[in-house]
Structure 1
Amino acid sequence: MESILITGANRGLGLELLKVFNSNAFFTFPVVRTEESAETIRAQFPYNCRPIVADLSEDKSINSIKLILENSTESLDVVINNAGISGSEYLIETLGTAEVNNLFNIHCLGPIRTVQACLPQLKRSNNPRIINVSSRLGSLTRMASGEFKDRGFSYSYRMAKAAQNMFTICLGQEVKRFNITVCAIHPGELLTRGRSTDANTDPSIAAENIYEWIGTIDINSSGLFVQPLVQDMPW
């Protein structure tokens, strides 16, 4: 049985990913922030599921995740860094550094903490894969083209996702020697709580696409930025 760890697994895309991987015989480690969320997940997924309560905005989350994994599994096949939050300010006059710091902490430092916690088990997998859920708004190429000009997308979210993409590239180059695949994905314009004005994709459909795509990739795929089963994305 393959195993997967999914952050931000209590709602939206994360919950849909948990559903599809759990139903396809993966042992799942959903990472959530509260014990209440963990209890809800335990009730909904009584088999092959071990929730982990950890706040990825804090360094202590590394040990919280690591301890559960050490006591639960010898190896880990997939990590999906999905946890994220949206920003609000899109004008330089109103942009606060606290918002920027908060989004960088969640979107950049959160994945770093998760990978540090999971690396020992990933190294023992036959096909270890790290997937960072990015965004089309993290693409410097598309942003520089003016495609999203005057759309009101926040500074903090776009900056954090661009930085996360750089993390994906750097990490992929470093851990390739361990046969660990690292990719970034844009899941689509999702019909979620923080949706964009052009949202058109149900999270359940995006999760199914991600599941199918993850089953096809290996170390030769490392370094990709894609919308799974839809299109390649420019960095």
Structure 2
Amino acid sequence: MEKVLITGASRGLGYELLKVYAARNNMTFPLVRSEQSAQTLSAEFTNCFPIVADLTDDDAINQITSVLNSYAGNIDILINNAGISGNEHLIENVRTEEVNHLFNIHCLGPIRTVKACLPFMRSSENPRIINVSSRLGSLQKMSSGEFLNRNFSYSYRMAKAAQNMFTICLSQEMQETGISVCAIHPGQLLTRGRSTDANTDPETAALNIYEWSKEINITSTGQYVQPFVGELPW
């Protein structure tokens, strides 16, 4: 049994990840934003300890730490999944408020969860931090023109590229501690904010991530991959 913290666990990919890990008798710590969501997940899953926190606020660090101190001696896997899509793809319409909001969720949110979880991960036998990124965070793919005229938002692409840099920095810092840090592209998901070429349901993506997470360790750190498909260029 492993202990897994999953952010953005009330719906979409995060919820499917929770289902996969819970069904295999892992202890889960789903992070959600409302008490109602926490109560719903507590009733649905056993050995599940929801954390109510807003990852856009530094108070989330203490809220996460408080729950882990009560129920977890260690954390084996942290999956930074929480995120939202942006809207504006034309510079004339880009709102700095939107860009700030997405940076707060996709970049500062993972920083907050890592700061809260690190003390608990150091006592794990195989600690892994998995940042759910996107193919749209790849500077090489973006500069190649692969997504030209696809109308993807400025804010999302910029936030995911910054999150990827966070993954690189953190993986290099953590390498000597034995904590593996990777970024993943889960696939083009069939969710509410889907792309026009979406072809993967969240349930399948969650299962792929689960199986892949069992295989990785410190030798895998620093990877940017789509599980069981291949590595992506930074």
TM over 0.5: yes
Task: Output aligned runs, 1:118-157, within 5 Å.
Answer: 118-157=117-156
- Superposed CA offset, 1:167-223 (max 9, x none): 000001111121000000000000001101110100000000000000000000000
User: Aligned partner of 1:59: which letter?
Assistant: D
> How far off its partner does 1:73 sit?
1.1
CA distance in 1, matches of 2:230, 2:44: 33
Q: Which residue of 2 aligns with 1:186?
A: 185
State the secondary structure of the residue aligned to 2:148.
Answer: coil
CA distance in 2, matches of 1:70, 1:119: 12
> How far off its partner does 1:231 sit?
1.7
Deviation larger for 213-222 or 225-234: 225-234
Q: Which residue of 2 aligns with 1:8?
A: 8
> How far off its partner does 1:230 sit?
1.3
CA distance in 2, matches of 1:61, 1:214: 25
Q: Which residue of 2 aligns with 1:54?
A: 53
Q: TM-score, normalised by structure 2?
A: 0.99
CA distance in 1, matches of 2:122, 2:225: 24
Q: Which residue of 2 aligns with 1:25?
A: 25
Task: Output aligned runs, 1:56-205, within 5 Å.
Answer: 56-205=55-204
> How far off its partner does 1:82 sit?
0.1
CA distance in 2, matches of 1:169, 1:64: 26
Task: Output aligned runs, 1:37-48, within 5 Å.
Answer: 37-45=37-45, 47-48=46-47
> How far off its partner does 1:6 sit?
0.1
User: Aligned partner of 2:58: which letter?
Assistant: D
CA distance in 1, matches of 2:123, 2:175: 14
CA distance in 1, matches of 2:172, 2:231: 19
- Structure 2's unaligned 5+ residue stretches are none
- Superposed CA offset, 1:126-161 (max 9, x none): 000000000000000100000001100000000000
Over aligned residues, Cα RMSD in angstroms? 0.5
State the secondary structure of the residue aligned to 2:204.
Answer: helix
State the aligned residue count: 234
- Superposed CA offset, 1:74-93 (max 9, x none): 11100000000110000111
- Structure 1's unaligned 5+ residue stretches are none
User: Aligned partner of 1:15: which letter?
Assistant: Y
- Superposed CA offset, 1:44-80 (max 9, x none): 11x1110000000000000000111011111110000
Q: TM-score, normalised by structure 1?
A: 0.99
User: Aligned partner of 1:38: which letter?
Assistant: A
